[in-house]
Amino acid sequence: MSIRAKFALIMALPLVLVYVALNVMQFMELGRTTLNEERGHASTMVQMQSEEVSAYARLVHLRASGVLATVEAVDAILPHRLKVFLSAAGDPPWVAGIALIDARGKPPHEEVLTAPTPQVDLKPCLEDDAVGRRMRRTMEEALKTGLSGWKSAEPNATRATPIFVRVNAARTIAVAIALDAAVLTEHVVTTDDRADPWLAVDSNGTVILGNPPSVIGKHVSQVNPVLPADETARIREQMIAKKNGSLEIEDPRYWLGWSAVNSTPWRVLLPIDMRAIMEPVWAAVWRDAIIAMVGLGVNLAIVALLAGFFTRPIRRLSEAFKEVRAGAFDVRVPVKSKDEMGQLGSGFNAMTVQLGDLVRSHAKAEAAKAVLEREKSIASEMQESLLPSPDALPDSPTGRVQALMRPALAVGGDFYDAWMKGDSIWFTVADVSGKGVAAGLFMAVATTILRGVRRHVDDPAEALTWLNDRLLEGEEERPVFLTMFLGRLDPDGTIAYASAGHLPAIRFGNGQKAHPLADATGPPLAMARNVEWTTGTLQLKAGQHLLIYSDGAVEARRSDGSMVDIDGLVQLVEEIGERSDEERVERLIESLQAIETHGQSDDITVMSVTRTARHDGATI
């Protein structure tokens, strides 16, 4: 992710979180407020419905009382005028019919039933139909018990169901008033569209009033899914316990309010679908969310522009770093301010200048190193050309010589050589102090002089004297010195040698254990003038070997820091045992290099001289 994207994310994330939190809080507050308002509104509406129904119920009470009073008063004075008085009162259209019976179970006067009147049609109410039978039955029961009031409706009635019965004090006359529930429902004030149809139910749960009229006469559980049969008992218990109240039903989510109708066992119910109430809330939330998203998008665009503006110097630095990594050290970034970014740009420009100088210096150093390495390679090749090849080393009836040198650097300061002079084998191992090119050059000079001297002398000590004088010719001293072991193996096995400060040789083979001998017979070469060396002798039996080596062989260091020294070299020789001359020197140098785990510290040269003939000339 780029720095611009990270910067934009850091700035935008709190903004997005604030937007989301505000919208969630707004939705919750709006939903809570809307629900509370709707519940209050619904409570008011159900109370209004209850009061409206109560007013009509009181009118029915008054009408029934008026009918009884008229019957009692008029029947005593003008019985033949009873129907006229009853008709004069008139009835509203929601009164379906009025019936009268006396203690005999008949109307007080038959002419009342025979005279037609549009307002008091008593006869049909007592004919043989369901409502008429119910009216007669309710009046007969009221005469027996003396109890007046509203009677329970019967479900699935096809005509007006609410019936009010009143008897006089003497229980001689009963009046029944049947209401046309459908017409009465139209006269009751209706609720708004947010509520489901209102209902008025009796104590048995039968709908006696309701909108639409088709619900009248049905059980309340058949009218609305919010009132299932398994919930009816719980709702009924609460409505009996409280005249006015409300409760919430979870599935489906409805609010149900009720209010008691005064002077009746009825309850007015008003169920409200909470989902319908929340629809405008959701619409408002979606509208606000869209507006918020547009505003958020504008803000995010501004954040992106600001992120691009503030991160532009960083992006310039990033691009500049890429160019520097590709090798363009002359790249610079513009510095237009003195703040932290300006200081960073100035530091980057200064760094590229220094880095360019370093790269150019490094390139020059690498070129010089390449030249030096090439010169070292040439010097190494020249030094190797000064050394005799393995095929050129003597292998004669007198003996044979095998040698090997491993320089620590490209050019070493060690040297070996062997040559035949008559029947004798001359051999030498030399070591210049130090190592590297200077030691190699001095060794090349000494080798050239030695090869010139050896043609004129036959004694090793005399040869060293001549060599020392030539090395110091025109000089009082040299900055380096040279150790050398120079020997001559004669056919009878005698070795005449002179050692200019060189390490002792090691003799071994033919059943004899390895041991050092042939110590130095004089100081190193090129240290002082007018120095003489003596010639020593030793004897090699047939099959015996003489090992000559440079100081790199005994100064090899183990991992604990200790040196191999002469005793350790003698032990290595014993461990290698009898092998061919070539294999012997190779194994010995490999063993010494393996000991130096941190790398070879000095040139190592090993030479093996083997006697292959007895003094009588017989070869072995």
Minimal CA–CA distance to 157: which of 139, 138, 140, 132? 132
Q: Point out which residues pair with 97 in neighbouring strands.
A: 178
Architecture of domain 3-179: 2-Layer Sandwich (3.30)
Contacts of 375 (CB under 8 A, 6+ apart): 437
Angle formed by the axes of helices 340-386 and 437-453, to 10°?
A: 10
CA distance 201 to 210: 9
Classified by CATH at the fold level, domain 183-276 comes out as: Beta-Lactamase (3.30.450)
Q: What is the mean pLDDT of the chain?
A: 77
CA distance 42 to 46: 6
Confidence of residue 493 (pLDDT cuts 50, 70, 90): very high
Domain 387-611 in the same topology as domain 3-179 = no
193 pLDDT above the threshold of 90: no
Distance from the Cα of residue 123 to its chain's centroid: 90
Domains in the chain: boundaries: 3-179, 183-276, 329-386, 387-611
- Residue range 77-129, pLDDT digits in tens: 545 545 544 554 556 777 777 777 776 666 665 444 333 333 344 444 445 45
Architecture of domain 387-611: 4-Layer Sandwich (3.60)
Q: In Å, how far are 279, 373, 424, 616 from 421, measured between CA atoms? A: 123, 38, 5, 19
| Of 614 and 24, more confident | 24
Q: How far apart are the first and last CA of the chain?
A: 84
Confidence of residue 416 (pLDDT cuts 50, 70, 90): very high
Q: What are phi and psi of 108, to 5 degrees?
A: -60, -35
**Which two tokens mark 489?**
């193996």
Average pLDDT of the residues in 246-251 = 70
- Residue written as tokens 């409706």? 153
Which range among 18-27, 151-160, 529-538 shows the weakest confidence by mean pLDDT?
Answer: 151-160
Query: Exposed, middle or buried: residue 194 (CB in 10 Å: 0-12, 13-18, 19+)?
Result: middle
Percent of the chain whose predicted confidence (pLDDT) is above 90: 20
H or E element: which one contains 260? strand 254-260
Minimal CA–CA distance to 411: which of 385, 383, 374? 383
User: What single letter denotes the amino acid at residue 334?
Assistant: P
Strands 512-517 and 604-611, how do they pair?
unpaired
- Residue range 342-362, pLDDT digits in tens: 777 777 778 888 887 888 888
